[in-house]
Amino acid sequence: MLIDTFGRVATDLRVSLTDRCNLRCTYCMPEEGLQWLAKPDLLTDDEIVRLVRVAVTRLGITEVRFTGGEPLLRPGLVGIVERCARLAPRPTMSLTTNGIGLKRTAEALKAAGLDRVNVSLDTLRPDVFKTLTRRDRHKDVLEGLEAARDAGLTPVKVNTVLMPGLNDDEAPDLLAWAVENDYELRFIEQMPLDAQHGWKRDGMITAGDILTSLRTRFELTEEGTGERGSAPAERWLVDGGPHRVGVIASVTRPFCSACDRTRLTADGQVRTCLFATEETDLRAALRAAPESSAEGSDEEIARIWKRAMWGKKAGSGLDDPSFLQPERPMSAIGG
């Protein structure tokens, strides 16, 4: 069990498969000049599956989310999913992606055992998409969303970040589109995860701003804390249901007291929080002992992981004026 000194138990594992991405979203990474991890530093497919196995069979993990960078860029992704689906107990598995590449991989991922996907899409306007991502791939994302839905990777959740002066007027249109296409839309407050440290608290689009905008067109009924559990999103029924919209207010309404996550970076580091400035190395312990002697070394890996999570802080620190932004961009951490 991965428990911390505040009594929280981690059952949700986020696994970053790569730090690379085929978009350059302004709130995540600079347009150029970002140094990628060297291939020898990255976990191999076998190492990823082994760490997931340790997490599931020894540490009580029940949900696994594959992230990046962009996880669809990982050549062995389908095989990783397929092998993790054979674990006992079988974890629930999902994928966070920008949607580029889903059109050609959705069916294979579903057949391998993936349960659902989260797709990032911040705008319905191709020109705004190009400005936000510095790439002209809007059509590919829309086609990827359709492919995921048609393959049964449901519920398909769409993650949206609103930016002042760019797409902050699109909230109602995005929700109408999501309802029409049977996607679950989730707005995420912009967080300080950009490598160029351009985030500013003042001027950001808050959860309150988003809800005010949505209520100009829709009736929203709060689901309530009983339905939310440890999920990061507060959810509302749209016009009485059955469709829902969520808001993840990491900055203005932090949910740290109910956090149930542990994170594994693409180079084998445990992070207790997305905003943590410290990491614990599992890769060294993993490579110190071959798979043939996995029983003893797996126990050592589990011990290191438990110790790391025991030291998890009470909160993210975003409410502290002296907050230190993580030096690694989100692409290297896994969202």
* Residue 114: partners with Cβ closer than 8 Å, 6 or more residues away: 81, 85, 93, 94, 95, 153
Distance CA(53)–CA(114), nearest Å, equals 16
Q: What per-residue confidence (pLDDT) applies to 36?
A: 78
pTM score, two decimals? 0.88
Three-point CA angle 247, 251, 254, nearest 5°: 75
Q: What per-residue confidence (pLDDT) applies to 5?
A: 95
DSSP code for 146: H
Q: Which two tokens stand for residue 321?
A: 């004026």
Crossing angle of the two packed helices 77-85 and 102-112, in degrees rounded to 10: 20
Reply yes or no: is the peptide bond before residue 79 cis, omega within 30 of 0: no
| pLDDT tens for the chain, residues 1 to 335 | 999 999 999 999 999 999 888 777 666 666 665 677 888 999 999 999 999 999 999 999 999 999 988 999 999 999 999 999 999 999 999 999 999 999 999 999 999 999 999 999 999 999 999 988 888 899 999 999 999 999 999 999 999 999 898 999 999 999 999 999 999 999 998 866 544 444 455 568 999 999 999 999 999 999 876 565 667 789 999 999 899 999 998 887 878 888 999 999 999 999 998 888 889 999 999 988 766 556 668 999 999 999 999 999 987 656 554 444 555 555 455 55
Distance CA(131)–CA(115), nearest Å, equals 32
Give the three-class secondary structure for 300: helix
Q: Which of 3, 16, 92, 94 is nearest to 51 (CA)?
A: 16
